[in-house]
Amino acid sequence: MAKIKIAIDAGHGSKTAGKRTPPFTQAVDIDKDGKIDVKKGESYHEHYANVGIASLLYHKLKANGYDVIKTGWDDDNAKNDDDTPLSNRQQTIKKNKCDYSVSIHFNAYGSGAAYNSVAGVCIYIHSQYPKESRHLAEYVLQELRKGTSQQNRGIHSDNLAMCNCKTMNTKASILCEIAFMTNEREAQKLMANSDFWEECATEIAKGIERYCNCNNKEEVNSKGVYTLTHTVVAGDTLSKLAKTYNTTVDKLVKLNKLKDPNKISVGQKLILMKYKLYTVKQGDTLSKISQQYLGSAKRYPEIMELNMLADTLIHAEQILKIPVD
Ligand SMILES: [Zn+2]
């Protein structure tokens, strides 16, 4: 079987205008070798941190047996990387016939001159040509949320070049905004911290691994209802599946009209969940969406559960799964 091919893209160039933190309010030793890497009052470049994670991720994926290529960076030259135009990055990915691509970035909010409170991790997929990107993004985001505690901003849809599966001819392309470089804590404690890079690279690699090995399939019908099915393998039980997919045995029994929840057989196709997708608009709240789609504002916890939200904060352009009974 041909190896799965993945492109790892590190956003921007080392000297690209903007794309750096506001001045650090303290000196930081990124790799804890006793030497200061960023002085108090200096700005840190997004590209350096992007490469920090991209490089670790590249080697982890190679070690896991994937065929991996780099776009937009060079291991030995991170501080001297020119900004590779987006169209060149896209063409490299297309020419190399990559199955998937992952672009690493840090987010920014406001003018970039001063720190503000906007924070958190999110993953972007293309608004028109996402193909399987949301499914991959879910696995990666799930893993990214396991490490250092950060606000979960969810999966967002936008018209970004590095997410365009059509132009790059990929099956799935995601862009990870790991944290905000305009947030004081995230810039100094996460972005300029090689332990955090290691943690993120491990988590992204694990998300990709789980996605590539997942024994499930998502299909959508003409009414926009998605069905996620799983093919039973030896050792599967309903309670194990319920735990893996964040649902309940009762729901699985009902969805699959099972007579005996203890009797499932290898090769059997089980429906895990059904949902529609909704893209959050400015001014939306979970109870408003719940009222509109589930008939009651009080059912919003079901949306939280399906999307694994830790709080009720949602953001414009965030993609939410809405349960379908
Ligand atoms: Zn960026």
- CATH number of the structural domain spanning residue 234: 3.10.350.10
All residues with CB under 5 Å from ion ligand 1: 11, 105
In whole angstroms, give the CA distance from residue 81 to residue 209. Answer: 29
**C-alpha 147 – ligand 1 centre gap (Å):** 21
Distance 238 CA to ligand 1 centre (A): 42
Among 192, 213, 234, the domain boundary falls at 213
In this structure, the answer to whether residues 184 and 312 fall within a common structural domain is no
Q: How far, in Å, from the CA of 205 to the mean position of ligand 1?
A: 20
**One domain, residues 94 and 239:** no
The torsion angle over the Cα atoms of residues 33, 36, 38 and 42, rounded to 10 degrees, is: 180
Question: How many whole angstroms separate alpha carbon 59 and alpha carbon 56?
Answer: 5
Q: How far is the CA of 9 from the centre of ligand 1 (A)?
A: 11
Gap from CA of 41 to ligand 1 centroid (Å): 21
- Asked if residue 53 lies in contact with residue 145, where contact means CB atoms within 8 angstroms, the answer is no
Distance from residue 214's CA to the centre of ligand 1 (Å): 29
DSSP string, 196-217: HHHHHHHHHHHHHHHHHH--EE
Residue where a domain terminates, one of 190, 213, 236:
213
Q: Are residues 202 and 221 in the same domain?
A: no
Structure letter (DSSP) for residue 271 = E
pLDDT of residue 244: 84
Say how many domains are in the chain. 2
**How far is the centre of ligand 1, averaged over its atoms, from the C-alpha of 279 (Å)?**
22
Rg (CA), the chain: 21
b/e for 30-53, b at 16 or more Cβ within 10 A? beeeeeebbeeeebbbbbbbbbbb
Ligand 1 centre distance from Cα of residue 106 (Å): 5
On whether both 101 and 176 belong to a single domain, the answer is yes
Single pTM value for the model: 0.93
For the stretch 11-39, pLDDT in tens is: 999 999 999 999 999 999 999 999 999 99
Query: How many C-beta neighbours within 10 Å does residue 224 have?
Result: 11
pLDDT at 78: 84
What CATH number should be reported for the domain holding residue 61?
3.40.630.40
Paired with 70 in beta bridges are 8
- pLDDT score recorded for residue 199: 98
Query: Ligand 1 center to residue 304 CA distance, Å?
Result: 28
Same domain, 179 and 295: no
Distance between Cα 67 and ligand 1 center (Å): 25
Mean pLDDT of the 131-155 span: 94
* pLDDT of amino acid 1: 63
Do 5 and 99 touch, CB atoms closer than 8 A?
yes
Residues 233 and 123 reside in one and the same domain: no
Q: Alpha-carbon distance 176 to 161, whole Å?
A: 13
Position 325 scores a pLDDT of: 76
Same domain, 238 and 131: no
Same-domain status, 170 and 194: yes
Average pLDDT over residues 151-163: 95
Final residue belonging to a domain, choices 188, 213, 238: 213
In the reported structure, the alpha carbon of residue 71 is separated from the centroid of ligand 1 by a whole-number distance in angstroms of 14
205 and 289 fall within a common domain: no
- CB-neighbour burial class of residue 69 (10 A; exposed 0-12, middle 13-18, buried 19+): middle
Same domain, yes or no: 195 and 226: no
For ligand 1, the distance from its centroid to the CA atom of residue 197, given in whole angstroms, is 15
Residue (of 315, 280, 324, 294) closest to 151 by Cα position: 315
pLDDT at residue 157, as a whole number: 94
Q: How far is the CA of 72 from the centre of ligand 1 (A)?
A: 12
Q: Which of 20, 17, 26 is nearest to 188 (CA)?
A: 26
pLDDT, tens digit (0-9, with 9 covering 90-100), for 217-276: 888 899 999 999 999 999 999 999 998 888 899 999 999 999 988 889 999 999 999 999
* Same domain assignment for residues 90 and 164: yes
Contacts of 259 (CB under 8 A, 6+ apart): none
CA atoms within 13 A on the CB side of 129: 14
pLDDT band for 308, please (50, 70, 90 cuts).
Answer: confident
Q: Ligand 1 centre from 291 Cα, in Å?
A: 36
Ligand 1 centre to CA of 12 (Å) is 6
pLDDT average, residue stretch 53-81: 94
Identity of the amino acid at 62: K
Q: Considering the chain, what is the average pLDDT of its residues?
A: 95
Alpha-helix runs per DSSP H in 96-246: 133-144, 165-168, 184-185, 194-213, 238-244
C-alpha 111 to ligand 1 mean position (Å): 14
Statement to judge: residues 24 and 156 lie in one domain: yes
Q: Which residues form the domain of 220? A: 216-323
Q: How far is the CA of 103 from the centre of ligand 1 (A)?
A: 9
